[in-house]
Amino acid sequence: MDRTDPRQAAGATATLRSSNAAERESRAVANAGEPTLEFAHGLPYEAYVHAGTLHSLQQTLSDDAGEMSFLMVSQIMELYFKLTCFELREARRLLRQDEVWDALVPLGRAAMTIEGLNGAWRGLRWMTPADFNRFRDLLGEASGFQSGMYRRMEFLLGLKTASLVRPFQRDRELHAELLRALGEPSLWDEVIALLARQGHDIPRELLERDFSEEHRPHPAVEAAWVEIYRTQGPENRLRLLGEVLTEIAERFRDWRYEHLKAVERTMGAKAGSGGSSGSAWLRRSMARVVFPELWSARTLM
């Protein structure tokens, strides 16, 4: 097991102070173009990134070398979940303020972050059932299904299921946070509200509903997107919004498929660690579509 002390990794108490362009230029001249090699108060990089802390978190349960890869890829995905949630929340905030153009930027970053999630799965392509079985029993009932950050991401994307908050009830803070996220409008709910403010005929029932329940596709939302896509050109910001949302939905669908492939590669049709039917459960979950009217409207365009 790797039990590196983050303080040892940092080497000393690290501090970070701001600098400006003139200071950086002066330092480069004084160093004759070489990097600075001595710091009085620890490494500034450590003060900012906390790399020592990050590298202390890989605490494997077995002596099998492959488990480190499995654990680190899982942790990398958790960080990507958090970043995706951050970007989606920022986009949601901007859309509430009708700042469509500005919202395109965090949405674009979210799409790229989800692509990073897809890439993370490729880091586990080496794992066969024999490889996984060498340490799987030690995981007990631990399952990615129990990721609170992933659940936040699903809720933001509009995939709402109240019962999926139950596993977190013994962690009061996290449970309360997930209940709040469940009851808040998703990104898609805010997009629908935006369409209404932009003059599209959206029924009140879609704007004043229980947001803890998953949105059901509605022909009025579908019709709005058909109308939006009739107008070409960069001045049509709603069309640009539709395209970046489509990119997010497509990459998220790819992530779920990559998950299914990884499970089938390492477990076949065996039961999952968290009590599910494994690959069969994942296949059923893939039937839930993110931003559904963006897809169904294409049939009518």
How does residue 141 score in pLDDT terms, banded at 50, 70 and 90?
confident
Same domain, 275 and 199: yes
Three-class secondary structure of residue 125 per DSSP? coil
Give burial (CB, 10 Å; 0-12/13-18/19+) of 130.
Answer: exposed
Q: How many domains does the chain divide into? A: 2
Same domain, 286 and 189: yes
Same domain, 37 and 102: no
Q: Residue 143 sits in a domain of what CATH number?
A: 1.20.58.480
Same domain, 80 and 185: yes
How does residue 271 score in pLDDT terms, banded at 50, 70 and 90?
confident
Q: For 9-59, write each residue's pLDDT tens digit.
A: 444 577 888 999 999 999 999 999 999 899 888 899 999 999 999 999 999
Q: Determine what percent of the chain is predicted with pLDDT higher than 90.
A: 77
| Positions at the binding site | 136, 259
Three-class secondary structure of residue 75 per DSSP? helix
Same domain, 109 and 197: yes
The verdict on residue 1 lying in a domain is no
| Positions at the binding site for heme | 259
Q: Which of these, 268, 294, 246, lies nearest to 128 by C-alpha position?
A: 268
Show the domain range for 14: 6-54
Same domain, 228 and 93: yes
Same domain, 141 and 43: no
Same domain, 37 and 177: no
Same domain, 228 and 290: yes
Rounded average pLDDT over 150-175? 95
Same domain, 274 and 294: yes
Same domain, 274 and 150: yes
Provide the pLDDT for residue 12. Answer: 52
| Positions at the binding site for substrate | 136
Single residue among 14, 31, 54 that ends a domain in this structure: 54
The verdict on residue 277 lying in a domain is yes
User: What stretch of H or E contains 225?
Assistant: helix 219-230
Single pTM value for the model: 0.90
Contact 180, 155 (CB under 8 A): no
